[in-house]
């Protein structure tokens, strides 16, 4: 696609109904701007952070638990203070925000891909395959998502040496969270496919000899992506909170890899010592991130709902 065609596509979208509702919603605009600012800050952590939170040499134990604006032993000023390991809180929060966003985005993408594929197959083919996938989904829905994630992480910890598990902590956490969220996508897509498969355009594609894979991926899939996008947006906040909960419980990422949940857990031990900033600041950042994503997801759900179109 050329730049001219891309510009026309963007311009056409900007004049559409969804973009019009977005421009008329100050709350959605604010949530989108906050989420975008946090995303830019997280991805730019290596440039924006004063120190490398992953480098043990950057932490000075003599500067541990300094309050916001405190000055270190060697004259360094820490804008948001330091944690019990002597790490700069601003740097740790930026890197922790990046870790939480990477885990959240990757787990939502993995869950969406798996759930959409299973939902397409269940709704299109039906029969035994449909019954098997839906019964598996029903069984998983009877367990809380956090319990499934804990189970997968616990099995990985038992099956792997400690050093290997620490090295693969992020992929394992992504897989554990993704395995907890695929059901919503599968059930939603299956219900939509049951309606779409009897439409004229699908029947015409069958008559003309179009392959099943092409019918599913190029004909049916584009017509069911709207609800999937809404679920993914809302699930992003849930995935970030799940990662933070696991890290807070000490079964997520190791302490050497800062995330918002692990920072809150570390600071929780010093709340009653007066070192409130160690847990309060990452907690506020986590709330701000989750709230902006949830608000934007709620707006997107309403904007894509045909019943609300006027």
User: Can you list the domains of the chain with their CATH numbers?
Assistant: 17-47+86-304 (1.10.3720.10)
pLDDT tens for each residue of 295-304: 998 888 888 7
Q: Are 34 and 46 in contact (CB under 8 A)?
A: no
d(CA 161, CA 165): 6
pLDDT recorded at residue 5: 63
Nearest one of 275, 286, 287, 254 to 82, comparing CA atoms: 275
| Length of the chain in terms of residues written | 310
- If you write DSSP's letter for every residue of 222-246 in order, what string do you get? GGTHHHHHHHHHHHHHHHHHHHHHH
Q: What is the DSSP letter of 251?
A: S
pTM reported for the whole predicted model = 0.88
Rounded Cα–Cα distance for residues 156 and 33 (Å): 38
The pLDDT tens digits of the residues spanning 200-252 come to 989 898 889 899 999 999 999 999 988 999 899 989 999 999 988 888 887 77
| Residue 271, pLDDT score | 78
Q: What is the pLDDT at residue 155?
A: 86
pLDDT digit of tens for each residue in the chain (310 aa)? Answer: 555 565 666 566 666 777 778 888 899 999 999 999 999 999 999 999 888 887 777 777 888 888 898 888 788 888 998 888 888 999 999 999 999 999 999 999 999 999 999 999 999 999 999 999 999 999 988 888 888 888 888 888 888 888 887 788 889 889 989 998 999 999 999 999 999 988 998 989 888 989 999 999 999 999 998 899 989 998 999 999 998 888 888 777 776 778 888 888 888 888 778 888 898 999 999 999 999 999 998 888 888 775 544 4
pLDDT of the residue at 309: 46
Per-residue pLDDT at 13: 60
3-state class (DSSP) for residue 275: coil
Kindly provide the residue ranges of all beta strands, DSSP E only, lying in 24-177, ordered along the sequence.
70-71, 77-78
- The pLDDT value recorded for residue 183 is 93
- pLDDT for the residue 310: 46
Q: Diameter of the chain by CA atoms?
A: 78
pLDDT score recorded for residue 8: 63
| Radius of gyration over every alpha carbon of the chain, rounded to an integer in angstroms | 23
What residues does 90 pair with on adjacent strands? none
Q: What integer pLDDT is reported at residue 6 of this predicted model?
A: 59
């Amino acid at each position: 696609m050329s730049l001219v065609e891309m510009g026309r596509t963007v311009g056409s979208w900007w004049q559409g109904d969804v973009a019009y509702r977005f421009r008329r919603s100050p709350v959605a605009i604010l949530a989108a701007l906050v989420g975008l600012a946090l995303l830019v800050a997280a991805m730019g952590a290596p440039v924006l952070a004063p120190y490398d939170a992953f480098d043990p040499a950057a932490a000075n134990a003599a500067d541990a638990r300094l309050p916001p604006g405190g000055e270190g032993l060697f004259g360094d000023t820490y804008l948001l203070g330091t944690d019990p390991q002597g790490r700069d809180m601003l740097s740790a929060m930026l890197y922790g925000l990046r870790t939480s966003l990477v885990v959240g985005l990757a787990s939502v993408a993995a869950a969406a891909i798996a759930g959409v594929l299973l939902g397409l197959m269940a709704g299109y083919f039906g029969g035994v395959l449909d019954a098997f996938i839906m019964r598996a989904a029903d069984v998983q829905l009877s367990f809380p998502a956090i319990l499934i994630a804990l189970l997968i992480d616990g099995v990985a910890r038992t099956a792997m040496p400690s050093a290997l598990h620490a090295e693969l902590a992020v992929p394992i956490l992504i897989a554990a969270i993704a395995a907890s969220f695929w059901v919503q996508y599968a059930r939603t897509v299956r219900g939509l496919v049951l309606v779409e498969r009897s439409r004229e355009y699908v029947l015409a594609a069958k008559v003309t000899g179009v392959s099943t894979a092409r019918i599913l991926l190029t004909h049916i899939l584009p017509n069911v992506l709207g609800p999937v996008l809404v679920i993914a947006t809302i699930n992003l906040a849930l995935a970030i909170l799940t990662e933070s909960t696991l890290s807070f419980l000490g079964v997520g990422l190791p302490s050497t890899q800062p995330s918002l949940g692990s920072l809150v857990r570390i600071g929780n031990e010093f709340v009653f010592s007066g070192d409130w900033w160690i847990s309060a600041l990452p907690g506020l950042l986590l709330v701000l991130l989750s709230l902006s994503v949830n608000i934007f997801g709620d707006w997107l759900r309403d904007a894509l709902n045909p019943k609300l179109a006027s």
